Structure 1
Amino acid sequence: MNSPIYYGTGKYRWTDNVDFENKNMPSKMIGRKEELDWIRRQLEYSSFAEKYKLRYDLKRGEILEFDWGINVNAEFSNRHYGVVLVDSGEFNPLVIVCPLKTNRNGGHPRSDVDLGIIPCLKTTHSTLAVINQIRAVDKLRIYTKFAIGQENQFRETNDPIDEMYRLEEKKLDLIKQAYINLLIMGNNDKSGEYR
């Protein structure tokens, strides 16, 4: 019996344990490809930032598509919609966003808020706000058709964001209250009772 041939060094070792006729890749190689893809996107962001100045004036409740990057384990990754939680002026490079995901398998009761059907997201499933993944992101991560033209060329526009891409105030209040509750639960002792 032939012993496997190893490639690479250290933790980046892999073998030819793949049926290449079926075009299957080992999961570690797929992960490396995603990481390299993310590095490529970061380089694109850097060159874009050198060439253009983004002047987005974002308002609370606007729903946009963001590139969350390639993150670790259960952290939100790749392109997903998000809702702006706090107004962010045109000279502020950051915006505070709550990621949104489709409710296909039910949400986590402590970290997800069901927002129901959001028409602009064009899905038959309800949408979940992922409360425990709220964070500030650079406006370069915004991926929208009104800002990015053909072949990733930036196109300035004065078109306002349509009202259908805005989350209702009562749903924003649900997100805010769920975030407060999440922070309060973090102060529980091991017995589960509030201090």
Structure 2
Amino acid sequence: MNLNIPQKYFILSCNEKGSVRVFKNTRRRAYLAESSFFDLALNDIIDLTDNSVIINKVLPDDKEYLNEFFQIINKNQGKSVTHVLRAMATKENITKQIYNEIGDSLVNKVDVTKAVTGVVFKTNNYLPDHRVKEDLVSDVRKEFLNSGSKVSPETFALLTTLYGSHDLKTYFTPFELKQLKSNIEENQDDPTYEKLFELSKRLNRVILTLLG
């Protein structure tokens, strides 16, 4: 399935009520932002040094759904991850805008229905067709369970983000979760995942506090 990390995270964080489960939960919204950081970093659009976030190139057309997110990074590039996250936290409704942009990108790409809920305070709710979700779960599980400890960096980032948002337990047994945690620990020195670990380490210190 040709979806990016935040799009996959978005779908897998939905339940039978749709994406309002993401929107109404501070942890899931925060990790939606983290998944977006992963997407930009793994595609070399941004880099993180010890002290700053650096933009390497303009946002590609196929990542237009991260435009609002990218613009905040652009305005604060050269500053620390913490500073960038603070800028997101102080900009009103930033996580709502990220949520809507990613949700809208899915409506145009796969079988996802968009509905508007609420009377006074309206919220977009995105409902993926159950087959879309089942196929995605099948692909992720197959890659993880068949490859041992070596999965693609993109899948590794997705699994790490779902683990942090507490959604991974929906799709994996307690034994498989234990195996995943062990694999994460074993791969901390693997160059394949070096960028992911560095980014995750910096984000997890502050992301829930600032974007929750």
TM-score with structure 1 setting the length = 0.24
Task: Name the one with the larger strand percent.
Answer: 1
Task: Name the one with the larger helix percent.
Answer: 2
For CA contacts below 8 A with separation 6 or more, give which structure has more relative contact order. Answer: 2
Computing the radius of gyration from Cα coordinates, the structure with the larger value is 1
